[in-house]
Structures are given as structure tokens and as C-alpha cells.
Structure 1
Amino acid sequence: MVMQLAQITDHDLTFTPVNKGFINEGILNCLSCDSMMTVHPQCFPIPVPKDDPYFPYKNSTTGQPYCIPATRSMPGQRTLGPREQMNQLTAYLDMSFVYGSDVCEAKSLRSFYGGRLNVTKHPFKGKPLLPEIFAHPECRSEDKICFQAGDARASEQPSLGSLHTVLLREHNSIATEMSKLNPHWGDETIYLETRRILGAMYQHIIFNEFLPRIFGWKGIKNHGLTLQPDGYYEGYDASCDGTIFNEFSAAAFRFGHSLLRPIFQRVDASYKPLNPPVQLREHFFKPAILYKPFIIDEIILGLVDTPMETLDNFITEEVTNHLFEKKQIPHSGMDLISLNIQRARDHGIPGYNFYREKCNLKKAQNFSDLLEEISPETLKMIIKVYDHVDDIDLFPGGMSERPLPGGVLGPTFACIVGHQFRRIRSCDRFWYENDNPLTRFTAAQLKEIRKATLSRIICNNLDNVKIIQRMTLDLPDHFMNPRVKCSSIPKVDLDPWKERAACSVRNVVINVGSTSHVSPCMTCTCTKEGPICQSVKVTNCFQLARLFTSEAVLEDTICKVQCSFVFRALQEFSESTSGNQLGFT
């Protein structure tokens, strides 16, 4: 499940557009090795070496050199100077993969009824599926139907589509409950507040569950990624630039490619394996499998039950030889890792050794200087490919490092990814823990959001799940992480979002928008989110004594702090006169 959460998080943060053809032309055909001269100057094909274990050196039909097609990323700068690439997505953890990254896209996903999102009715009476979309440019289904979501890659492979579906269902489930809590709310209010709630839950899960598995808890502390146990986060920086680093999107956050397994194991509700498993190469942009009864349950629970691959420099052939392969055409697949390296070169990303120095590691003068971070066996393979230590590309270099204790990433990638997520939090004005009075959640609401777990969301939105481990990013363990009934996993209680006509504080009823004393030295204002109380600054203790009874004043700690000298005199006088209320009404 770590792999799948990493991919969907990447799809929340980064999507780099590539160049297309001239006017009215579509995706470039850059298969020919000379395509940058014969097809389009933005073609950037990858030549296949003679000793490649899978792809042929020459085309068997034409006899011409064989290349893996690649296209340069679209330039984004408006002035002359170094080429800069674009990010089509919002650079924050805002679930743009569910809601879209622009107004038009967001509207196309909404039902405009009850705050809910569009869905497709399940053909076998299961919970609803993602909405269908026709004529998707990359769709490979026989009927040309793929699924629509906030990100165009939702149909890329079945486990990604399954997690998209679970989160769509969670939105609609929250929206339904919100409409019951606040029946006077319209579609727009329910939609926006539901999006706000689910976005906050997602941010909490990423920082509380996902990132600790990537960095280890020590790494979380070192990178300043520790969440508030209570109260609000005061680290928002209004001058902060939240832009996604090119190094992050083009190299470091592609570490998940090493975690991919060649198949997705299916399991039933009792976690018994089902056959056949789902083979990755058979289902690139072919989401028809998700219409089968219980298949989303089987894939999601399979992810929860299956260990991820180790992060290293070994990648499954499903994406190194068969990525987006057309089954009827031999060698029509692509190599994802070669594309990663080619993209980083296109983007002008400096080499691995450059980032070692930036991340407070020793800049290597020769290959042997890398032995502290890279194993001798791996280093031997690197030496076969690169002539000099400065030639090592960032992606293969970072992927070759030993992971830090308790985490997945080595020191260089941990440095880049950690720095990015620290900015994602501190630069986000709408971060769920923020203390801005205009945007923050109430204390009661924030307390509920902190209960959010991926296991609870899965339990809420599968058709037939009864038990699951509490920490779904860790394998089940009888002692450390046992499977428990879904009913025992805490839910996010939405009652704090109920809009009230009045508040009750210490048996004092206050209408919304009104302020009243709830004690002699405390007033409360009733808001739609609940009461907001504050102490009263006493300017005349004797006047206070005339306005309230002695019992009420003496029981109010705030009054005592400000008027202790008067209270002591009143108490002494009260005792001497057997409780007479001289001066009180």
C-alpha cells in the first residue's frame, strides 16, 4: 500500500506536460532515432545499446537503429533564458487528483446535488465507481471507456483506479452525512466543506502514516515534519514559495517505481489469495477490470496484505520492458527508468554528486568515496555504466543508496523529499493545522480530523471488508499490528460541523451571533462553529461586586486573579457577619 499511496500523492503534486505536435497535431511520434530532425525538434528518443537484454539494437523490419520514444517536456518560461518546465497541478496536498486543478475540471466532476461528486452506477450492485469518460486520449479499453477523476492518470493501472474510487466514495459519504447534519445547507456549501474535511484527513494521513514509513520517525523529526499532537500549527510562512522542486518531480519522488510488484495479488475478505492475480502489463489504461464484482475490495485488501518491493536499483520488467505495451506489437513497450533519466537530463537536473554536497554528504572525488552510502555490489554496476563519479545521474544515484534507519529513502533522496514536504506544509495557507482565525478548524473539529486513518477510510468504502490492520501501511502482525474488526477503528465524528441556532455554555443559552456572560468574568460568543469564550478585563472590582452575587464572584477564578485583594476583604467580612451580602445584589 505504500507504493500506491506514493503514486497517488505524486499525482496530487506533479504532472509535467510534454510537447505536442504543430497546430492541430496530437502526441508526437518520436519512435525513430532521427525523429528530432524528421518529425519534431522536441523529440528526444532514447537509443537502445547493443547489449540491451530486451529491446533490439535495430528494427527487424527496417534495419534502422531502435529507439525508445521520448518527448521533451513543454517549456514554461515566458522570457529568454534557461529552459524551465511547468507543473500542471497545484503544488499542495489538496487532493487535486479527486477534485481537479482548475475550475472547469472541478465543475465537470460535480453532480451539483447534495455536494456530491459524479459516479457510475456499479453494474453488479456494488458501491459506485468513478464516472466514465469517452475518448480519453490514452484509453486502451476495447469500448474506449475509461474513468474520469481530478487527475487524467486515474485509469493508468488498476490499483491506482481502486484507490481513486475509495476516496471518491469517501467524499460522497461525508457529503451525505453533512446534508443530514445541516439540512438547510445548499449543494455549494456541502461540497466545499466536504472537500475541506476530506482534504484535511488526507493531509493528516500523509504526514501521520505515509511519511514516517518513508523517512522513519527520526527522519520525520530531523526534517521538521512532526505533526501537532494538539492545538494549532504556528509555522505558516506567508513569504514561503511552495513550488515543487524540479529535482523532486523529475527524480527523487519517483522512488516508488522501485516498490512496484509485477502483479497485484487479489485476496478475499478473509485475506485468502485469489487467482489469477492482476498482471500490471495487461491493464495499463484498461480499467474494465474494475467493473467486476468485489474486484476493488480484492485489489485494495491485496495491497494491504502484500509487502512492497525493497527500494533499490532493481525494477520490475513490467515497467522497464512492457510499460504501455501494445500486446500485438513486439517491443512496443517503454522503459520507465530510462524515461526517468532522460526526463531529468531534459530538465537540466545536475548529477547525483552535486546533490550529495547540497545535502551535507561528502562530495565524492572518486567512486570509492560512495561506499559509505552505496554497497560495493551496487557500486560495481554503477562503474560499468559511468566513466566518472560526476557523471552519475540523480535518479540512479539516489536509488542506489542504502536506506536510512527505519525508512525507505537514502540520505540524498530523503534530503530532497523532506525539504519539499516541509515547504508543502509551511507554505500552505490552508494547511489543516493552521491557526489562522479565518480558515482554521475549531478545536473540536481538529480533534476529529486527527482520528483519520487510511484503515478507517478503507473500511468505510469497500463492499465487503470486515477486518483490517489498524496501520494499513504496515504488514499485519499478531502482536504489533493485528487485524481488528472495522467497528473497533475510530471514526471521524462530523457532529462538530453541525451548524447550531444557539450554543449552551454552563447552562446559559446564547443565540448565534450573540454574546453573553456565562460567569462574572467570562463572556462567550456563539458562532456557527460553536462558542468562543474569553475572559473579561475587570476595571472596577467594586462595581463587579455590585453586579453579581458573592457566590458567583467567589467561584470565578478569573475574577479572583484580577480582584484578589477585594475578595479577601469580602471573604473576611462575610465570615464575620455570617454570610451577609453587604454591597451585593
Structure 2
Amino acid sequence: MTTGWQEVYLGGSPEAERRLFERMARQILQTQLKNRKAGGPIRAGFQAKGTFATAAATLRFLDVPADLRVGYAVPGAEYPASVRFSNAEGRILDDREPDLRGAAVRVTVSPGEQHDLLMTNAPVSHARDARQFTEFAVATAGGGARRYLGLVRLVFVLGPVETLRMVGNVQRGRRRIGSVATETYWSRVPIAWGGTAVQYLLRPAPGTPAAAPFSGFDFLREEMTSRLQAADVRLELCVKRYRGPRETPIEDAAVEWKSDAEPIAVLTIHSGATDDGAVHALRFNPWNTTAEFRPLGNLNRVRETAYDASAAHRDRRHWVTEVPLRNRIAGAAMRSLFGVVNRFRPWHRLPEALSLLNLAALRDVLRRENLIDTETRPAPPSARPVPAPPSADARAFRTHEGTWNDLAEPSMGAVGAAFGRNVAAVARPELVNEPNPIVVSRELLHRREFRPATSLNILAAAWIQFQVHDWVVHARHPLGVADVRVPLPPDMAGWANTPGGPLEPEMRVGGNVTRDGVLFGNVASHWWDGSEVYGTTTAKALDLRDGAKLRMTPDGYLPLDVAGSEITGFSEAWWLGLGAMHTLFAREHNLLCDELRSRNPLWPDERIYQTARLIVAAIIVKIHTIEWTPAILATPVLERAMNVNWSGVPPKDWLSRAGLWLTDANALHGIPATTPDHHGTPYSLTEDFVTVYRMHPLIPDSYAFHAAGDGALLRRAEFPEIQGDRADDALREFGLTDTLYSFGIAHPGAIALHNYPRALLNFVREGEVIDLSVVDLIRTRHRDVPRYNDFREALHLPRITRWEDLSADPASVAKLRAVYRSIDEVDTMVGLFAETPPEGFGFSDTAFRVFILMASRRLQSDRFLTADYRPEIYTRFGLDRIAETSMTALISRHCPALGAKLPANAFKPWPSSST
């Protein structure tokens, strides 16, 4: 029970305040970069120089008043403690310089309970609240002329009165001291103490000797060491109680609490203690405590986010991308310029150099406006145990669950994390069955006649399904639990929802599993980690292994389980194309294990396995980035852009190098040569990303299989004959070489209206009979993805106002008019299929907006594809293997008979063998 105090949140609510604090934390990280000396290490944003630290200390409670006997505050109780004294500056200064001084104490009650107490030798803060604290830190970072210019800016941000008050408080607090043992240290901000609010302080115990005369750059350490050679150092821990909002405010840290200081404990630093580097390395945070002692006030609340981010930045667990001033200025100019140009002429109709600049500006706009975090995050913060550091394995290897990719936020992008958004969700319950999705599918999606994509081969279709199974998997309820029900149109007699089941007046689809009634969690990790091959849990991964290698049959195929399904990371919606891809990469993994073993004979199986897995995942990423993407988006602009994403700008392309130096210097050397950057929003894949990758029209219904050697026809097959449990039989019948060859010389379907595979319109999956085209529509509607026109507008494209502007095909326009009451009700997937894409593109420009944003984000956010893309993680052999491996090289390695038949890009049509 409280004693009348209350907290007030900046922005009006805990959630609004949390978003403010995230921005403030990023600003504070910039102070670390400004304070860093050229070539020196990144230091704390504040209190960068430790003066003395030790774990040889204890905290013993005195006769604590009855109303303060909470938690560990038990009369007579004694606990081990670690103590760190420091200077307050974010730069390393001479101890003789005037400065504020800090003290931090970690009291260890048990392995799972610690309490961090943080104090400064001034009774009040220069800043009233978190905003002032952050603005002042940013303004005064770096020292010298930069600091004075920052203070001038502060006058315009906070006003002259508050700026002068803050500067005056800091100047009064900055002073020379003779010993850290003779100072009093105040918390300056309150904490809860059970139902009471208090501030606390440490003051020298009676009888503490005066400071001895020492001098020198580090004299405070020397003085403390000398003092402890003679005797213990004792300080009293006191508390000041809350009295009322005016004299002891909770949210205004610039007001000194005038209540009496009551001694409740004694901190003893034991004689003989010496300076301890391990304690200097501790990362203190006032939220490392229990709920009874949770910090109060917005300055404390911002410290949870800011201190964690600052500590992670110093420990190379969090990165900040420095954007040169010229890039910020040129970037703003480009966004404005191309914002005007695009009203009259789209990017793909500009000269190549301008198209590239336009795309760079567009990506910048999308990063700023179309990354929406949907994950539920704690607001306000909660007390917690001291966070455990990542293990050596978590630092060096990917986890199967996707945890610890971001070392500062271990759950980011992990299995179960919510899908984000690129476009704000729009719930339209009145339109969930309007128009009837069965009618939409029948009239606009069903394939009447196969329309090929002549610039691609079927490997491109198999590849993207192979990738999607790694990226995005929504959990589904079994049929009969939370079904999505779609009434049948009047002219349909009925639908069998299960194989051989009775005809029913509605089509039922197993509903997606939701979290909090709204969010959808990803069953796979959001990271590009090859989980379709390796599994999404450690237990699953172990089942797939035989030592370091993946389990395979002696003749090099995936083994089968008792139900006849291939044993691999993800085998849902299985068909021959997936079987070929999984087999190819399983063989590559096992070959890599042999290569790594020959070079590192003393490595244990786990390290061999994990390193091979890293290499395979990166090969997949590279192939998708610089081969599959330029194949399906076949324009010189995109080929250049995707190669720059991976490899940077070629040294001889001086024009592009000059342009990127001016506009985006971090892109000069390719994403793997940079550091992770989430662009202000925690990383996740998005529901909109799922929507634009609905590419089932790529799948043909009919196949012809030929011998690679002479091109002879082996046999023809329809999709059901190479799908499900028949896929493995077909792969063994044809062999991997002839299967890949047959797919390489044949075309997939075009991503367009009236081209959805017939085989997927009455498809059996996990006990359900589904029309997958209807399911695609249902899922998009139920996940609150906006309809097509709203989707376009949110992605900075003009709305379509005429049916004729949606499709160039008069027959399709007539069907669209007949099915939809309004152009604004057109389903997103239907609009994406109807839209005429730019020349050379395999999908629409609207879908491309999500693609251009997420294609680089999936690389840029991943530390294993940026900061940890280095020999210490992958080995030199591993990086060389990635660099030399294309899809063509990979196929040639495992199917050498195909080497002479492969084009430079394996996803483009192969030449046929003569019969």
C-alpha cells in the first residue's frame, strides 16, 4: 500500500513513454560515439572512468524501522556486495579535473536476487526528467567546441531558463575531491521500499579519516588502495522518506528531498581490498532488483532502457550506425526530390543511375515510415534479476530457436515472436466474407490455361517455397477448433472439408493460433537461418543429426519416418521441388562437415555442425540475394542493386561510389561489411511480407522429366504424382541430377490472375481438404492486411481510381467489376496479381515496395550477416566457400554431370540436351 505518492508518465501513458524512451536510448548511444576518442574503445555514455572497484564488501542492516522491514531489509542481515566508484563524465579524464563522482553497489542476496544501488555525489540531478537528461547528454557530448554548440542548441530546445539552471547545477556539482571514501552519494531519484517511497544515500561513517594527499592522473584509485591497506572503509546507507508531492516529488529529480536521512545499514569495504577489473566490467542498472524495491520516476524508467543499451553497446552486443552529416543532408534532399519526381514518372522509367538513387531514397522513406513493431513490450519496466550474459556458444553460433541473434534483446526474432507490420493493420470484420472468397478465387484466380513465366525455370518456383518455409510459418489449429467458416456460393452443391467426408454447406479452414487474441507468432524464427533444413528447435535439430552431419541414406537422400515423410527441418506442403532443394543442401552440409573436419581434426562434432550450418545458411542468403532476385526481377537496375547489397560497389564504378559516398556511405562495401542496424524498430518479418510472397501461381500442374545426358523423355507427371509421400519416390526414380535438369529446362507459371495451380484447388493438407487459393485470401483478410488500394497508399503509391488502371486485360477488368462492388474492396493478393509489373519483373511494383524494404533488412539486422560475418565465426575456409558458391556452382558440385549445361544464373532457363 502506498503513502500517497504516484507516478506520472511522459506522453500520457506507459506505452507512449516507452516509445519515447527507446528514441532517447538511441540518442544516448550517440553520446558514446561522440565521446569516443579516434580509434579508441566505445565507453559508457556516463561514468566512463572507474576509479576503484571491489567485490570485497558487505552490507549489514541495522535495526531497521518496522515499516521498512521489506524483502532483504532484515535487521542484522548481512550480504556480500560489489562496489564501484567512478567519475561521472562520459570521457576518460584526469582525476584532478573537477567532475561529479558516482558510486554503484550490487548487493547479492542469492544467486537469483541482486539489488543495484546507483548514486552520485550531488543531492539533485541537473535534469528534471528523462527528456532534459537526454537532451543535455546529447548537447554536451564530445567536449570542446562541439559541447558549446550543443549548449546553444539546448537553449532553443529547453529554453534559456532551464538551460541555465541545468548548467548551473552541473557546475556546482563538478568539483575536485580528495577521496571517494569521504564523499556522500545520493540516489537523487526515488525507489519503492515496500509501500513507501524513499531516496537513499551513502555517507562516510563517523570517524572516517580525511583524505591523504595524493596526486596524479589516477590518484583516486591510489588513495583508496592506500586507505584500505590500513583499515576497513565504512559508509552508512540511509533513506529519506516521501512526504508529499511538493517537497519530495517523484517525477522531478531537480528538487532536493528535505526529509531526514535515517541510517538503516552499513556498507563495509574490507581492508586489503584492491581494485578489481571484473567489478569494473559489471553493468549496473537500478532495475536489477525485486518488485518491492522497484525504481520510481521517469528518470529511473528511462535508465532501464538507456543503461541496458549503453552496456550492450560497450560489450559489442549492440551496435549504432553512424550516419555522416553529408548523408543526412543529401538523403533528405533525395527524399524530397524523388517524392516530387515519382508523382509524374515511376522509378523504373528513369535512367539507370537515377533509378538506383530513386530506389535508395524510397528505401529510406520505407525504413522511416513502414516498420511497425507489434510485439507486446513491458511498459512501465519491471524489476528483474541481473540479466545473464550470452554463453560462448550463443555468441558464436546461431541457436535453432533464433534467440541471441540480437545479443542485447535475446528474444528478438526468435521462434514465437510476433509478426510485425509494414502497413498498419486495418480490421474490417464487415468485409471478412465480402465478396465471398470462393467466388473471388473461382472468377479471378483459378487457372484456365497455363501461363508460363518464360524468363524463369521451375527451380525458381521450388526455391522460393524452400525459402518461405524458413522465414514464415503461422501456427494453425486442427480442423474443428476455431475454424474459419466461409459460406458456399448458391451454385456450389457442397464441400468436403476432410478426405472422404460429407459435403457441407460451408468451407471450413483451421484457424490461426493467436496470442492475446490479436498477434500472430512465427513458428519459425524470423532470421534467415536455414531452419527449413535444420529445424526450429534444438530437440528437432538433434533428431536430424548423426554426429556433425545430417542424417541421410547411403545413396544420398533424406531418410523417411514411419509415416513416409522426409526427415528434415520442415516438410509441410512437400513436393518434388522441395525434396530436391532439401536434398541438395543436406548434401552440401555433409560435404562441408568433411571439409571442416579435415582442416580442424580436433574440433568436436558440435563445432563442426554449427560452423557448417552457418556456412550453409549464408550460402542460401547469398544465392537468394544475387541470383534468385535478379532472375525474377530481371532488370539491370535490380541486378546492380542486389549485388551492391551483398558485395558493395565495384572499385571501378566510381560514379556509384561517389553517389553512395554522398548519400549512403554505409552501403559502399556491402551489408556483410557493416554492423547490425534495425533502423529504429526491433527486427521481425511482417504480415505484409507474408502477403507479397504468396506466389503459388509459380507452380505448374504438368511436368515432363528428361534425362540430362541426352534429353530423352523419362515420363510425364501431374503435380499430385510428385507431391506429398509420392515426392520421395519420384526423386529416387529420376535421381537428383535428372530432377534438377528437368526443372531447369521448364518454365514456372506467371504470377498473375487466372493462373493459380489447379492441383492446389482441392488439396489435402494435414487432414483438411482445402482450396489453397481461397485460404490465401482468407488468411490475408483475417490478419487485417488492408485491401489493395489502402495497401498501395500506405506504401507511398497513388490509389487506383479506374478499373482499367489496375489491369491491362479487358477480360480481367470485366471480371473484377463483376466480383467487387468497389475498386477499394479489391483483395490485396488479387490487386498484386492483376497489376502490370515493370518490364522484366516477375511480380508487381506494389509488392516490390515491401520487397525492397525487407530484402536488405533481413541482412542488415542479422549479426551473423554483418558484425559476425568474419573468419573467427565462419573460418576463413567458410567465408571463401560462401564467396565462391553460386547456385550453379552448388549444383555442379553435387551433380557434376550438369556442369556444362548450367547457365550463369541457375534460375534462368537452361539449354536443353539434344535427343
Q: TM-score normalised to the size of structure 2?
A: 0.44
Change (3 A) 1:98 1:223: closer
Change (3 A) 1:422 1:379: farther
CA distance in 1: counterparts of 2:495 and 2:842, whole angstroms: 38
Change (3 A) 1:345 1:177: same
| 2:791 alignment partner, one of 348, 351, 355 | 355
- Residue 339 in 1 paired to residue 810 in 2? no
Would the aligned equivalents of 2:495 and 2:507 in 1 still touch at CA under 8 Å?
no
Would the aligned equivalents of 2:466 and 2:578 in 1 still touch at CA under 8 Å?
yes
Instruction: Indicate the residue corresponding to 2:523 in structure 1.
Output: 88
Instruction: Indicate the residue corresponding to 2:462 in structure 1.
Output: 4
Which amino acid in the other structure matches residue 552 of structure 2?
A: V
Instruction: Indicate the residue corresponding to 2:826 in structure 1.
Output: 392
Identity of aligned residues (%): 19
Equivalent positions of 1:76-475 (< 5 A) are 76-77=515-516, 83-112=518-547, 115-121=548-554, 127-134=555-562, 144-153=563-572, 156-216=574-634, 217-219=636-638, 226-229=645-648, 232-234=672-674, 236-237=676-677, 240-249=681-690, 251-255=691-695, 257-270=696-709, 272-286=711-725, 287-290=727-730, 292-324=732-764, 333-368=769-804, 370-371=805-806, 374-431=808-865, 434=867, 446-462=879-895, 465=898, 467-469=900-902, 470-475=904-909
Gapped runs of 5+ residues in structure 2?
Answer: 1-458, 651-668
Q: C-alpha displacement at 1:242, in angstroms?
A: 2.5
Q: C-alpha displacement at 1:356, in angstroms?
A: 1.0
Change (3 A) 1:89 1:63: closer
Would the aligned equivalents of 1:322 and 1:333 in 2 still touch at CA under 8 Å?
yes
Q: C-alpha displacement at 1:394, in angstroms?
A: 0.8
Q: C-alpha displacement at 1:364, in angstroms?
A: 2.6
Which amino acid in the other structure matches residue 564 of structure 2?
A: I
Change (3 A) 1:273 1:318: farther
Which amino acid in the other structure matches residue 704 of structure 2?
A: Q
Count residues with an aligned counterpart.
428
Change (3 A) 1:92 1:265: farther
Would the aligned equivalents of 1:225 and 1:422 in 2 still touch at CA under 8 Å?
no
Change (3 A) 1:192 1:325: closer
What is the DSSP-based 3-state SS (H/G/I as helix, E as strand, rest coil) of the residue aligned with 2:623?
Answer: helix
Which is further off, 193-202 or 278-287?
278-287
Would the aligned equivalents of 2:705 and 2:742 in 1 still touch at CA under 8 Å?
yes
Instruction: Indicate the residue corresponding to 2:309 in structure 1.
Output: none
CA distance in 2: counterparts of 1:207 and 1:437, whole angstroms: 19
What is the DSSP-based 3-state SS (H/G/I as helix, E as strand, rest coil) of the residue aligned with 2:832?
Answer: helix
Q: C-alpha displacement at 1:184, in angstroms?
A: 1.9
Q: C-alpha displacement at 1:312, in angstroms?
A: 0.8
Q: C-alpha displacement at 1:168, in angstroms?
A: 0.5
- Over the residues paired in the alignment, what is the CA RMSD in angstroms? 3.1
CA distance in 1: counterparts of 2:535 and 2:843, whole angstroms: 29
Q: C-alpha displacement at 1:227, in angstroms?
A: 1.9
Change (3 A) 1:58 1:183: closer
Instruction: Indicate the residue corresponding to 1:28 in structure 2.
Output: 479
CA distance in 1: counterparts of 2:640 and 2:731, whole angstroms: 43
CA distance in 2: counterparts of 1:269 and 1:63, whole angstroms: 46
Q: C-alpha displacement at 1:201, in angstroms?
A: 1.2
Which amino acid in the other structure matches residue 385 of structure 1?
A: V
Q: C-alpha displacement at 1:395, in angstroms?
A: 0.9
Change (3 A) 1:192 1:58: closer
Q: Deviations over 1:347-379 (max 9, x none)?
A: 1111011111122221134534x34x6544322
Change (3 A) 1:148 1:62: closer
Instruction: Indicate the residue corresponding to 1:70 in structure 2.
Output: 509
Would the aligned equivalents of 1:99 and 1:106 in 2 still touch at CA under 8 Å?
yes
Q: TM-score normalised to the size of structure 1?
A: 0.67
Would the aligned equivalents of 1:100 and 1:151 in 2 still touch at CA under 8 Å?
yes
CA distance in 1: counterparts of 2:675 and 2:754, whole angstroms: 39
Change (3 A) 1:224 1:68: farther
Would the aligned equivalents of 2:584 and 2:894 in 1 still touch at CA under 8 Å?
yes
Change (3 A) 1:439 1:400: farther
Would the aligned equivalents of 1:280 and 1:318 in 2 still touch at CA under 8 Å?
no
Change (3 A) 1:275 1:318: farther
Q: Deviations over 1:371-404 (max 9, x none)?
A: 4x65443222211211111111111111111122
CA distance in 2: counterparts of 1:303 and 1:409, whole angstroms: 21
Which amino acid in the other structure matches residue 789 of structure 2?
A: N
Which amino acid in the other structure matches residue 148 of structure 1?
A: I
Change (3 A) 1:9 1:436: closer
Which amino acid in the other structure matches residue 226 of structure 1?
A: N
Instruction: Indicate the residue corresponding to 1:16 in structure 2.
Output: 474
Larger Rg belongs to: 2
